[in-house]
Amino acid sequence: MILNLFFMLVIPLLFVGIINKTKAIWAGRKGPSLLQPLFTFLKLLHKQEIHSLSSGHIFRWAPSLALTAVFFAALFVPFGSRQACFGFKGDFFLVMSLLALAKAVLVLAAMDTGSSFEGMGASREISFTAFLEPAFLLIIGSLAYAGGLERIGQLFYRHTVNIYNEWSVIIAVMTALALFIMLLVEGARVPFDDPATHLELTMIHEVMVLDTSGPNLALVHYASALKMQIYASLISYFLIPEGMGTLGITLVFLLGSFSLAVLAGLVESLMPRFRISRNLELVIIPLSVALLVLAALIVHNMGGF
Amino acid sequence: MDHDTQQRNPFIFTFPEPLPLTEFISRISELSSSGYSPLGFFGTPEREILCLMGKAQHVPILLRTAFPAGHCYPSLSVTIPAFHIFERELWEEHGITPEGHPWLKPLRYPAGSPTKMESYPFFSSPSQALHEVGVGPVHAGVIEPGHFRFICQGESIQHLEIQLGYQHRGLAKLMANGDLRSKINLSEAIAGDSAIGHGLAYCIATEALCGAEAGSALKTPRRLALELERIAMHLADLSALAGDIAYLSGQNFFAALRTTIINSSLAICGSRFGKRWLCPGGINYGLNKEQNKTLRTTLLTAEKQIELSAKAMFSSSGVLNRFDSTGCISRKTAQELNMTGITAKAAGLQVDVRADFPAFEEGIFQAEILASGDVYARAYLRYKEIRQSLQMIDFWLSTLPDVKAAAVPLAKPRPNLLALSLVEGWRGRIAHIVKTDQKGNTEFYRIIDPSLHNWFALALAVRNEGISDFPLCNKSFDLSYCGHDL
């Protein structure tokens, strides 16, 4: 439990730090420290907040609510130990709803500012979600279909990749792919979004929090990093064989998360961004992959061909 | 050079007889239909309208008429759209109304104008299906101020209005005040990224008015400076274009290569932007054998690296997906708007001062052009021009003897003459027009930066594009705010 909480607090910002470091090294620069996102987070907590005159009260409390929701959702996902902090049968519905709630309040807050940029960002963000949520539900549902109505953490943990069974490998690879694409979209990373850009008109996630400042901005940064880490955790728990020791689980979790961060960094270094008009076509990929996972699971359960 | 006219760039004119207004207009229409385009059209302090019409390989023609009675005349833009921006300027500066002008509104709000920002006549639509997005005048990052107002239907731009003028420094007046021969620093600041382009245009105009000419040994270093600036700025643009689409490799490689180039300029004249390299009458910094050799090896190494980086960038499908068919300008539009420079050449328009109005006895220069007129063409043409300039520089350096800093002394400018100097800066055609009065003092100094014409083309290029592609289109034009505002 303590381990879970500790990793929940530290790893997400480190995850962002590793992505940035990977990009810097690829570009031939030294780059900022791995802990820079953490320093920025602490710095922002000390800053004064500025509110635009056109914004109402939603704008002020939305970031805290979003973070609470994401944090609460993360408690159901194991972070480095065998069990998550909480869990009950079918808790993935709650997890998904909490993530959706976090997004909903941020979108409301963006529209609350009355800025035309933020309205644009909100509409873009929501249009992606429309395709991502069904994909997530379908994947979890498929795993639940195979492993019984279990806790979300156990669903992934139970589905250890059995390299001697081709269907097991196919399911794992496709689920990991779908989750990784979701990680990139939800984390507002290249090729779907560009966290490094200064061009308001091209932003998606960043533009929604353009007016947010000070502690609220820190909360938004942390919440979005935590959301990425939730996906990274789920993917790394795939790799943990059942019956592994506690230390082994922690090690595989850390190794898995950090490799995913490096992978995300490499994707950003090598790929240009997609056109926003094409993004929607590409966000459908996880949904199609999720359907394939379901098909593979059905075949697997029937004992293969 | 004792005769009062000069038949090649920089051109020297004596004032022709003023024409009656109707003849003035019919002459312009006549010239326009025979392939001439306006190089300048403006009102003078002497209450006259001057018009300079130019055509490749021809001596430009200067026309002159008195301010029309009643301060209005039938607008030329109706039939020749190329005049629309000049007529707005004339209306703003002298209150002369071009009747029937399709879109008459202020250009840059000069000091003392009564017009207020609140009452700026922005185009708007009452439709409920459209929404407006205003960007600027203060932008993120370190870019110049300018206001962009989009009318969008969802993500697609229906209309863009660009309103500039925030950078107006009264430069034309500053250039005209005092001794013409001491304005080199000011001219280099007309647009900081075209220090050499504008500096050179000023230098050759001044030399022509003073009846002097920089020695032929100094011409090659001058052209070299201009091409070096072109290479550096094109590399900066390629880097920024890659940055706009989050293509990190391109962004970093081209930025690093640009540093190599501007550091070469630093090694020669002590300024990375080539400031103080030129001076009226000659050059402030020479190029000895040692520097020549270093520059040549640096450029040869850079050429190979540029080749590799460009190959990687222009073969990446992700990059092509963003560049291809984005922000198209047709050849017809380019011609109608009197566009110049890289954006016009990328649309297939063969306009280049180096070929059309050669200022130096250069060999036959053939401008590179591309036909598609999209972001890809503007990016790829930059790469082609970089290669072309590198080859020219390498050729010059291989034959260049030891050049010492030298300048011919300039006498007082000759009276009652008008000089027109044209330079192909990296952005396009830079025109400086200087007129001396009876005592040889500067009567007026007009500066026409390529951005003046090209800004409107940007507004047309983004129509029906996604609003998220606007920054990319904008960067592919890379126009100057201060060059427009002056």
The DSSP-derived string for B241-293 is HHHHTT-HHHHHHHHHHHHHHHHHHHHHHS-TT-TTSEETTEESS-B-HHHHH
By Cβ distance, the residue of A194, A200, A201 closest to B246 is A194
Q: Which residue of A has its CA nearest to B470?
A: A201
pLDDT band at residue B2 under the 50/70/90 scheme = very low
Q: Cβ separation of B316 and A200 shorter than 8 Å?
A: no
CATH code of B251's domain: 1.10.645.10
pLDDT at B46: 86
Q: What is the ipTM score, two decimals? A: 0.84
Q: Match 């299906």 to its residue by tokens.
A: B129
Q: How many CB atoms lie within 10 A of CB B158?
A: 15
**Tokens encoding A117:** 């940029």
* Residue B252 with chain A: CB contacts under 8 Å: 27-29
In a domain, B5, yes or no: no
- Say what the pLDDT of residue B115 is: 61
Full pLDDT tens readout for chain A, 305 residues: 788 899 999 999 999 999 999 999 988 889 999 999 999 999 999 999 999 888 889 999 999 999 999 999 999 998 888 888 888 888 888 999 999 999 999 999 999 998 888 888 898 888 888 888 888 888 888 888 877 777 888 887 776 677 777 887 888 888 889 999 999 988 888 888 888 888 888 888 888 888 899 999 999 999 999 999 999 998 888 778 777 788 888 998 999 999 999 999 999 888 888 888 888 888 888 888 888 888 888 887 777 66
Q: Is the peptide bond before B121 cis (omega within 30 degrees of 0)?
A: no
Whole-number percent of chain B with pLDDT over 70: 96
Q: With CB atoms and an 8 Å threshold, state whether B466 touches A28.
A: no
Of residues B1 and B23, the one with the higher pLDDT is: B23
Residue A102 lies in a domain: yes
| Residue B153 CB neighbour total at 10 angstroms | 15
- Same structural domain, B313 and B430: yes
Chains A, B: CB pairs < 8 Å: 82
Q: Sort out which chain B residues have CB atoms less than 8 A from A114's CB and list them.
A: none
Mean pLDDT of B241-264: 91
Look at residue A167 and tell me if it is in a domain.
Answer: yes
* B324 in A contact zone (CB under 8 Å): no
Q: Where are the alpha helices (DSSP H) in A1-56?
A: 2-26, 36-45
The total of other beta-carbon atoms located within 10 Å of residue B311's CB is 11
Tell me, yes or no, whether B475 lies in a domain. Answer: yes
Among residues B43, B68, B99, the one where a domain terminates is: B99
Task: Tell me how far apart the alpha carbons of residues B399 and B260 are, in angstroms, rounded to a whole number.
Answer: 23
Q: Does residue B412 contact residue B443 with C-beta atoms inside 8 Å?
A: no
Instruction: At B51, give phi and psi (nearest 5°).
Output: -135, 130
Segment (H or E) for B475: helix B470-477
Q: Which residues of A touch B322 (CB under 8 A)?
A: 272-275
Same domain, B87 and B188: no
Partner A, chain B 92-131, Cβ-Cβ below 8 Å? 131
Say if residues B441 and B245 touch (Cβ distance below 8 Å).
no
First to last CA, chain A: 42
User: Is A200 in Cβ contact with B246 (below 8 Å)?
Assistant: no
CA torsion sign, A109 to A113 to A119 to A121? negative
Distance (Å) from the C-alpha of residue B166 to the closest C-alpha of chain A? 20
Helix (H, G, I), strand (E, B) or coil at B406: strand
**Would you say A21 and A36 are in contact if contact means Cβ atoms under 8 Å apart?**
no
Tokens of B392: 């020219």
For residues A178 and A139, give the distance between their C-alpha atoms in angstroms, rounded to a whole number: 9
Which of A23, A117, A271 is closest, CB to CB, to B318? Answer: A271
In a domain, B154, yes or no: no
A130 touches B: beta carbon within 8 Å: no
Residues B229, B324: one domain? yes
pLDDT of res. B361: 66
Residue A15 within a domain: no
- Containing B470, the helix (H) or strand (E) segment is helix B470-477
Q: How far is CA A255 from CA A24, A260, B230, in A?
A: 21, 9, 48
**Whole-number pLDDT of residue B110:** 55
Q: Please indicate if any CB of chain B lies within 8 Å of the CB of A83.
A: no
Same domain, B348 and B227: yes
Closest chain A residue by Cα to residue B471 = A199
In chain B, how many domains are there? Answer: 2
Let me know if residue A58 belongs to a domain: yes
Q: Is residue B144 part of a domain?
A: no
Number of separate domains in chain A: 1
- End residue of a domain, out of B99, B130, B155: B99
Report residue B238's pLDDT band, with 50, 70 and 90 as the boundaries.
very high
B452 and B317 assigned to the same domain: yes
Averaged pLDDT score across all residues of chain B: 88
Domain of residue A110: give its range: 2-8+53-301
Helix (H) or strand (E) holding B150: strand B147-153
pLDDT at B144: 87
Angle, vertex CA B394, rays to CA B393 and CA B397, nearest 5: 85
Give B319 to chain A, closest Cα distance, Å: 6
Kindly give, in sequence order, each residue whose CB lies less than 8 Å from that of residue B75, ignoring residues fewer than 6 positions away.
B83, B87, B98, B99, B100, B101, B102
Q: Which residues contact B304 (CB under 8 A, 6 or more apart)?
A: none
Query: Binning pLDDT at 50, 70 and 90, where does residue B354 land?
Result: confident
Average pLDDT over residues B427-439: 91
What gap in Å lies between CA A205 and CA A188, rounded to an integer? 6
Q: Does B249 touch chain A (CB under 8 A)?
A: yes
Q: Is residue B1 part of a domain?
A: no
Q: What phi, psi does B6 have (nearest 5°)? A: -130, 130
Is B252–A28 a contact, with Cβ atoms under 8 angstroms apart? Answer: yes
B194 and B94 in one domain? no
What is the arithmetic mean of pLDDT over B197-226? Answer: 87
Question: Does B114 reside within a domain?
Answer: no
Sign of the C-alpha dihedral, residues B301, B245, A285, A238? positive
Crossing angle for the helix pair B289-314 and B375-399, to the nearest 10 degrees: 160
- CA dist B266 → A199, A242, B386 (Å): 31, 64, 19
- Exposed e or buried b for every residue in B267-300, given b needs 16+ CB within 10 A? ebbebbbbbbbbbbbbbebbbeeebbeebbeebe
Write out the two tokens for A75: 């408690």
Coil vs helix vs strand at B62? strand
Facing residue for A272 by CB, picked from B131, B134, B319: B319
Q: What is the pLDDT of residue B401?
A: 84
Per the domain annotation, does A163 fall within a domain? yes
| Element at A287 (helix H, strand E) | helix A276-301
In this structure, are strands B406-407 and B282-283 parallel, antiparallel, or unpaired?
Answer: antiparallel
Write the residue in A26, A116, A194 that is nearest to B131 by C-beta: A116
DSSP B292-357: HHHHHHHHHHHHHHHHHHHHHHHT-HHHHHHHTTSS---HHHHHHTT--HHHHHTTT----HHHHS
Supply the range of the domain harboring residue B36: 11-99
Burial class (CB in 10 A: 0-12, 13-18, 19+), B139: middle
Does A36 reside within a domain?
no
Backbone angles phi, psi at A191, to 5 degrees: -90, 5
Which residues lie across from B445 on neighbouring strands? B434
At position A246, the amino acid (one-letter code) is T
The partner residue sitting opposite A273, judged by closest CB among B133, B141, B245, is: B245
Do residues B24 and B16 touch, judged by C-beta distance below 8 A? no
Give the residue from B245, B314, B476 with the most A CB atoms within 10 Å of its CB, the best one to mutate: B245
Assess A159–B contact: CB distance below 8 Å, yes or no.
no
Helix (H, G, I), strand (E, B) or coil at A73: helix
Looking at the domain assignment, is residue B158 inside a domain?
no
What's the CA gap between B354 and B365, in Å, rounded?
7
A155 in helix, strand or coil?
helix
Last residue of a domain, one of B75, B99, B123: B99
Average pLDDT over residues B459-486: 90
Task: State which residue of chain B sits closest to A191, comparing Cα positions.
Answer: B246
Name residues whose C-beta falls within 8 Å of residue B290's C-beta, 6 or more positions apart in sequence.
none
Contact B68, B18 (CB under 8 A): no
Give per-residue pLDDT as tens, B160-180. 998 888 888 888 889 988 888
Q: What is the reported pLDDT for B114?
A: 56
Tell me whether residue B199 is in a domain: yes
At residue B440 the predicted structure's pLDDT band, cuts being 50, 70 and 90, is confident
C-alpha to C-alpha distance for A65 and A73, rounded to whole angstroms: 12
Any domain includes A257? yes
In sign, the C-alpha dihedral spanning B71, B76, B78, B83 is: negative
**Rounded alpha-carbon distances, angstroms, from residue A135 to A148, A234, A284, B109:** 19, 15, 8, 55
Q: Give CA–CA dist B229/B258, Å, rounded.
A: 10
Measured between CA atoms, how close is B271 to chain A, in angstroms?
25
Tell me the nearest-neighbour CA distance from B342 into chain A, angstroms.
23
Q: Is B1 a residue whose pLDDT tops 50?
A: no
Question: Is A39 among the domain residues?
Answer: no
Distance of alpha carbon A17 from alpha carbon A38, whole angstroms: 8
